[in-house]
Amino acid sequence: MVDSVMPRLYTGERQPSEQECEVDGLEPYIPSPELVEAVNLTIFLQKRPLLLKGEPGSGKTRLARAVAYELGLPYEPWYIQSTSKAKDGCYTYDAIARLHDAQLARLDGQKLSRVDNLWNYIKLGPLGRAFENSQRTVILIDEIDKADIDFPNDLLQVLDEKRFTIPEIKSQEQEVEKEYEIKAKKPPIIFITSNEEKDLPDAFLRRCLFYYIEFPNEAELVNIVKAHFPEAAPEVMRKAVWRFGELRKQMERDSGKTGKKVSTSELIDWFTILRQYPEEEVLGKLNGELPFAQVLLKYWHDYREYLYSSQEERK
């Protein structure tokens, strides 16, 4: 029951056309109404990033892109690696390139002016670019838990105050030398995803909004598949989603809440393959042994449990 008073900037209803999907690599995204509400809350409050958690493959990363698409805002993804530093998100300073230019400056007078201007060697990172943009920007900080445990703490100030300084560049202000400062022109919309590989520090969590992406139910799954494959036959779709749901339920029973289970993204991959075959053949395959199990089962143990057991049953 979403109240109409709520500012609904993001609706989750506008999906990219087929052409856009092909050209720009966009994909349709069907969020749950609760997620839409959380996104709108983030946009409304402006202050805090939205921390998304959920099973792998539940669409944490794709959300930011979908929001940016629907609202027509610029999009700045920042994929975190284990070596990422908080500063990289703001800017990087290429000292080696400057050295290179300085060496060449002896031969080429033009280069000299280039060497003197430090801006030629500063490259803004995703956060820096978003702050400089005069439009509100959607920022994605993907898999923040991959980085070092101190990484989120280093980001605190930048995310809190929406500004940072570049110590390499000094500016004179009333006779006082100051570090150049970049301040967000418009408050960005920040999404952070985490796979819970490492705990995040409390000080960081305190500053985030939190949303846990639940696994969609069967009807929602059908909708998601429909959005990805608009021209697929409904019968095949229902059958595939049902078969997928059965597998997932079985996995839940066996490995409990903790183990790796088949995810939405795997369902879409699986369905892509199924679509290569004629309708009747697919329906036939779905009734028998799990077709194209390579897409869904990633452990030898799973293979044994879910593939061979069904064969034995039939014998």
Between 101 and 142, whose beta carbon lies closer to another protein?
Answer: 101
> Would you give the distance in Å from CA 162 to the centre of its chain?
21
What is the smallest separation between the CB atom of 201 and another protein, expressed in angstroms? Answer: 7
What is the smallest separation between the CB atom of 36 and another protein, expressed in angstroms? Answer: 11
Which residues have CB under 8 Å from 203's CB, separation 6+? 153, 156
Residue 122 touching another protein (CB under 8 A): no
Q: Summarize the chain as % helix, strand, coil (round to 5).
A: 50, 15, 35
Between 25 and 109, whose beta carbon lies closer to another protein?
Answer: 109
Judged by CB under 8 A, the stretch of 3-11, 69-77, 79-87, 125-133 that binds another protein is 3-11
What is the smallest separation between the CB atom of 237 and another protein, expressed in angstroms? Answer: 29
Residue among 106, 253, 314, 315 that touches another protein (CB under 8 A) = 106
Between 99 and 233, whose beta carbon lies closer to another protein?
Answer: 99
Q: Which of 309, 42, 83, 82 is nearest to 192 (CA)?
A: 42
Q: Which of 71, 68, 12 is nearest to 37 (CA)?
A: 12
Q: Please state, in angstroms and rounded to a whole number, the distance separating the CA atoms of residues 141 and 90.
A: 12
Which residues have CB under 8 Å from 20's CB, separation 6+? 26
Which residues have CB under 8 Å from 171's CB, separation 6+? 177, 178, 179, 180
Half-sphere CA count of 222, side-chain side, radius 13 A = 11
Residue 107 touching another protein (CB under 8 A): no
Between 198 and 226, whose beta carbon lies closer to another protein?
Answer: 198
Q: Please state, in angstroms and rounded to a whole number, the distance separating the CA atoms of residues 227 and 16.
A: 10
Between 106 and 314, whose beta carbon lies closer to another protein?
Answer: 106
Q: Please state, in angstroms and rounded to a whole number, the distance separating the CA atoms of residues 58 and 105.
A: 53
Q: Please state, in angstroms and rounded to a whole number, the distance separating the CA atoms of residues 126 and 89.
A: 5
Residue 37 touching another protein (CB under 8 A): yes
Residue among 17, 79, 95, 246 that touches another protein (CB under 8 A) = 95
What is the smallest separation between the CB atom of 30 and another protein, expressed in angstroms? Answer: 18
Between 171 and 287, whose beta carbon lies closer to another protein?
Answer: 171
Q: Which of 34, 30, 28 is nearest to 210 (CA)?
A: 34
Residue among 56, 93, 185, 269 that touches another protein (CB under 8 A) = 93
What is the smallest separation between the CB atom of 196 and another protein, expressed in angstroms? Answer: 8
Q: How many of the other CB atoms lie within 10 Å of CB of 296?
A: 23
Residue 233 touching another protein (CB under 8 A): no
Residue 51 touching another protein (CB under 8 A): yes
Contact 137, 185 (CB under 8 A): no
How many positions of this chain bind another protein (CB under 8 A)? 45
Angle, nearest 10°, between helix axes 218-228 and 264-274?
50
Residue among 9, 21, 41, 156 that touches another protein (CB under 8 A) = 41
Residue 116 touching another protein (CB under 8 A): yes
Residue among 11, 81, 113, 149 that touches another protein (CB under 8 A) = 149
Of residues 152 through 211, those in contact with another protein by CB under 8 A are: 198-202, 205-206, 208-211
Residues that bind another protein (CB under 8 A): 1-7, 34, 37-38, 40-41, 44-45, 47-48, 50-51, 53, 93, 95-96, 98-99, 102-103, 105-106, 112, 115-116, 149-150, 198-202, 205-206, 208-212
